[in-house]
Structure 1
């Protein structure tokens, strides 16, 4: 424990006479250091101590006065010295003989951590003096009502174009346009600088000072900042709220202006950039700046409205203070909390969990960014270093109560800390070892269990014998393809065959009496055999022109991508089909050899699921599956895995001779996630009216059970090593 300003316990100490004190609700006060421009929140007891030191006072005398004033909570000499040491370390005390305070640099300067690096800033006072007129105009009631009116008008215009805006934004995100990316980065930087200017102008408008502004690196991302801590000197809570919301107000101006520009511009790069700026200035404000769980605008607004200016410190004290005191074995003076302990502890738990989530998200994003530019090893190194830094910081924070314990009690404090670590580790092991049902969730699509494609065997005229959707039996004629030239040749060949047969018969009769005709008879017999062969071939082709159902089921139209020309006529003189080939209006149309005319699908349906490579090894034949269709989400269909196989590649799906299953996957990849490489067939054990071919839904495959730790590990592998297969 250090002594205040190097004095002994009997030395005189004095509060600095130049401190600015503003009383707060609850008996405390906000102290402004005019030299370092730092601000301190003191509770009632600390404030009483500071005021009692208006004149040079020995620590022993201070302790006597304190125990008379707070007789219900007396303090020892060491505790009185500790209070004075704390105030001295904050720069609020001077030695009794000092006439003025020593200038010392602000403790906020030069703060460095892996996630927050505050760079040296500048004094924006000259800039704010020049922009004072704009601040007075914008932070006035007429300006506020004008902004509200214009915002409502723009919102009304946007209400009917939400789908258009969403589609345009989605297209911009998927375009990969580098110009748009750089323009978005520039808009982000300018918007956040404008945001901080709003805080600074609001602070000046409310009569406060702003002497520090600059840049801070948040997870290596440059962000602007300005120090408006002087707003805590305002007695009016409404005025403090204006300063806290000044940046949000300025971003609202940007969002309204950008949305209005988007409404009037024609499609193009400028219009898309305006839309992205409007979303940035609105969504980011709601998700980041107004989020009370991180120390941005929403945090300070909540702290002020709740009446807990040092919300972060008090909430952590409410959550961990009891454990720290138990570990250290000390009984220091506990400053009363400004809100119920339970609510403060709940806030601390929520904000800590959210901070852990944000840190994990930032680490993952940094690693993915490094991998995308070919610096995967560097990204992994950065992640390891940052995680090690966090672990060391947590270990140091956990050891701090042991270091704060009196020298004779540190062994006991260390043992108590070790017992906490063991108990916490055991509880975590039990929790992470709990067994849960292991499931894989993926979109699925229903398709017939069996299907056979009907294709034209050769080019010719098409005649439909059934309608799409009609049920047929196996072997039933579905359509007929007729080639006029080939049919004429077949009829001509039949006539030649009949004439040759008659001639051969005549020659055989005459050759009995005239042996000279034997050679001619043999030649005609050979020609007759060739004609019969050709006739049989043409008859077989004529029979193949009748398309028959290879299985019982319903006749389905071909996929949309197999459709013919858009118009009723092709570029050539021959009529072509429109819609689907077997439609009634296409009777007599011309089809090409191999052209898909439709398919015969069985009535039994199965679900097709595409899985990522990491999950493929977890699925086995016979695993139970639960399917919920989008059109009937309240009904869950039971089924079992029938087969697992490699899915078709995009190249294989594009081949003209692709099978029906491969063609299905090509259409299925759009509603399913990218990168799916394994196909799973699921046999449904029940059916409902919503079960129709092509219906989409969600399939949950039950692959057994796993521990919570295993589930977390599987999720981590998917995020960090997306190409790795499941074990």
Structure 2
């Protein structure tokens, strides 16, 4: 005997199926859930009161052209029982309901872990207010209104194109906290209008809106409107209108705001209003298109696609089809698909499911990182692990479990042999010790290089040598003059001469004789001062420390110019030998060791690559970058922060690797930036991934 249906269930006509057959919608008011019924399911339910399977089938065969069997009735019975649509009239029913309740019961901790990223707080029961206000918004649904909106949007776009520079640069003014607050206020206004658009449109078509409230998505509050009763509408056009009403409301608001941004005066008094209009014209509808229009999550775009395709439960049906397709491609079980569809829709649903899985994988990874950074480190790590396990590892494990349970049906066939071959090749690629290559920013320079600075505040006497001019070791390159040092030397010489005379007369003068050995000490000190000042004056004659060429000369240093101490004057390079300084990060440091081969690729394409060898790896990270040409502030690849004293401070741990024995004998006059390719050690990808994961965990788990 068939158990009776619940008496509170409601049945509504639904839209026609793709094959033209009628459908119905079954409404469960207790849970406010809707179930789409096909024509065969409806005919079975219409005869459900006959009591037995045989009576239902006999009446069906006598009165319709459908040819159904006991298995069809049993499948419908399982659906009704599983969704609590039958009257529980036996001990077995009570036990089944108790078991389901226990299985669905969650402890406080389990509920928090499952729902802390998304939960709803109903705040309003707006049905009475919506019915009272609906007559006042009827003009919004007239075609003339939307023609006007389109005209405003076109006019605003034309005016924005004429002031495009001002329009685009307005975005940069919202990077402060005040700007972010303005963005939040604009978004709140737009989202309230968005939800009212759903609510008023649902009310217009006779649907009840039981609640409106706030939903928290990754701890971020967003408004929501319960429009589930739209499922009882037979017209797909009306359901599409309800689903699109929110986004259309925001686009209408953006059209008006765009025109207001052009019309309002750019004065301090109207500044906040004009800024709000700009935000409503840009940020709100961009976020609406980016988030609400996406069909990969259960937002407006998903329900619009469901109604456009007339496929309720689109996600579940496409996922089931994609899982079947994946199992058949991997194992070739030969099972029938979950449902039979036209070839084009069959392939489209599989592609849609695969894109949705990829989208959600990236989204859940992003949410896990967001949760990690939103809390203190220990709690962030725990919550991130929960996210990765619940949303990524758990679905994968459930699918792998299905594979394991179906192992008895596995046979060697074309699909299984292909899968085994690909799995073997993939495993081999993971464990094979591949030759690693490390790429790092680098700079090529001369093996011998030295910069000459002004040792004292002095005046340049001789002109600087020209760039490219050759010189020999010991050759005078330029002459400086320091009047201060000259005066100090004259004074020291006069003092030394006076003390020397006093020392020669000490034996004949009682006063000098009383000074004793201290007089000699004073003379020796004065003589040492004279020698020191003479050596300092000799430093004003800058000489070449080695044979080479002038690579750089200070263009502002001309004869007669006064130079401060430490002024850069010349850069000298030797005649033979080149070297490369590469800068690697902490992750690549373990793969580099002395003796490995390396290649330098200049950033200037006209320069040929240079083959070198690793000579030295600095074990201590750099406190400052001494290659300005590689700094990010100068257009380089190394992220740095410029200190107030001019030093370039790396933002990430950085280690210098010296490359020598380069095959370029003639060194460049100027340092050449580029990239170095270092021949790292042989290591499997699996080992690298494990090493990286362990290092990341150790670094991030340190409290």
Verify same fold: TM over 0.5.
Answer: yes
Aligned pairs for 1:272-421 (under 5 A) are: 280-321=283-324, 334-337=338-341, 340-370=345-375, 375-390=376-391, 393-394=394-395, 397-398=398-399
CA contact (8 A) 1:114 1:386 kept: no
CA contact (8 A) 1:555 1:599 kept: yes
The worse-fitting range, judged by mean Cα deviation, of 376-385 and 628-637 is 628-637
**Could you report, residue by residue, the CA deviation over 1:13-48 in whole angstroms, capped at 9, with x for unpaired residues?**
699884111223413635152735433333454355
Match of residue 672 from structure 1: 638
User: Aligned equivalents of 2:248 and 2:466: distance in 1?
Assistant: 61
Match of residue 62 from structure 1: 56
Shift of 1:201: 4.0
Distance 1:708 1:129, change over 3 A: farther
Matched, 1:545 2:534: no
Q: Quick one: which of 5, 9, 15 aligns to 1:23?
A: 15
CA contact (8 A) 2:14 2:25 kept: yes
CA contact (8 A) 1:479 1:547 kept: yes
CA contact (8 A) 2:629 2:635 kept: no
Shift of 1:312: 0.5
Match of residue 484 from structure 1: 483
CA contact (8 A) 2:211 2:225 kept: yes
Distance 1:696 1:49, change over 3 A: farther
Distance 1:335 1:534, change over 3 A: closer
Match of residue 200 from structure 1: 199
Match of residue 53 from structure 1: 47
User: Aligned equivalents of 1:94 and 1:285: distance in 2?
Assistant: 44
Match of residue 98 from structure 2: none
Match of residue 457 from structure 1: 455
Match of residue 703 from structure 1: 680
Match of residue 616 from structure 1: 589
Matched, 1:33 2:55: no
**Could you report, residue by residue, the CA deviation over 1:289-317 in whole angstroms, capped at 9, with x for unpaired residues?**
23332222333333444443422011112
Shift of 1:623: 4.4
The worse-fitting range, judged by mean Cα deviation, of 386-395 and 481-490 is 386-395
Shift of 1:365: 1.9
Match of residue 101 from structure 1: none
Match of residue 125 from structure 1: 127
Q: Quick one: which of 537, 548, 556 aligns to 2:552?
A: 556
SS at match of 1:680: strand
**Could you report, residue by residue, the CA deviation over 1:264-305 in whole angstroms, capped at 9, with x for unpaired residues?**
578999999988887653553344323332222333333444
Match of residue 572 from structure 1: none
Distance 1:229 1:645, change over 3 A: same
Superposed CA RMSD in Å reads 5.7
Q: Please, what TM-score do these two structures have when normalized by structure 2?
A: 0.69
Shift of 1:433: 3.8
SS at match of 2:54: helix
CA contact (8 A) 1:648 1:665 kept: no
User: Aligned equivalents of 2:167 and 2:615: distance in 1?
Assistant: 43
Match of residue 96 from structure 2: none
CA contact (8 A) 1:468 1:582 kept: no
Shift of 1:361: 1.9
Shift of 1:712: 4.1
Distance 1:341 1:685, change over 3 A: farther
Match of residue 100 from structure 1: none
Shift of 1:367: 1.4
User: Aligned equivalents of 1:445 and 1:68: distance in 2?
Assistant: 89
Distance 1:81 1:258, change over 3 A: same
User: Aligned equivalents of 2:588 and 2:138: distance in 1?
Assistant: 57
User: Aligned equivalents of 1:307 and 1:684: distance in 2?
Assistant: 71
Aligned pairs for 1:653-692 (under 5 A) are: 671-673=637-639, 674-682=651-659
Match of residue 160 from structure 1: 165
User: Aligned equivalents of 1:269 and 1:694: distance in 2?
Assistant: 51
SS at match of 1:60: helix
Distance 1:554 1:431, change over 3 A: same
**Could you report, residue by residue, the CA deviation over 1:157-197 in whole angstroms, capped at 9, with x for unpaired residues?**
5643587457656xx3xx7x5x6666656665555444433
CA contact (8 A) 2:127 2:210 kept: yes
Distance 1:115 1:490, change over 3 A: closer
Shift of 1:376: 1.6
Q: Quick one: which of 50, 67, 73 aligns to 1:80?
A: 73
Aligned pairs for 1:151-230 (under 5 A) are: 151-153=156-158, 155-156=160-161, 159-160=164-165, 164=169, 172=175, 191-204=190-203, 208-230=207-229
Match of residue 595 from structure 1: 567
Q: Please, what TM-score do these two structures have when normalized by structure 1?
A: 0.67
Which structure 2 residue ranges, 5 or more long, are not aligned? Answer: 90-100, 505-512, 514-520, 640-650
SS at match of 1:340: helix
Distance 1:720 1:294, change over 3 A: farther
SS at match of 2:478: strand
The worse-fitting range, judged by mean Cα deviation, of 461-470 and 664-673 is 664-673
CA contact (8 A) 1:154 1:260 kept: no
Shift of 1:648: 6.4
CA contact (8 A) 1:717 1:724 kept: no
SS at match of 2:318: helix
Shift of 1:318: 0.7
Shift of 1:480: 2.7
User: Aligned equivalents of 2:251 and 2:288: distance in 1?
Assistant: 9
CA contact (8 A) 1:646 1:678 kept: yes
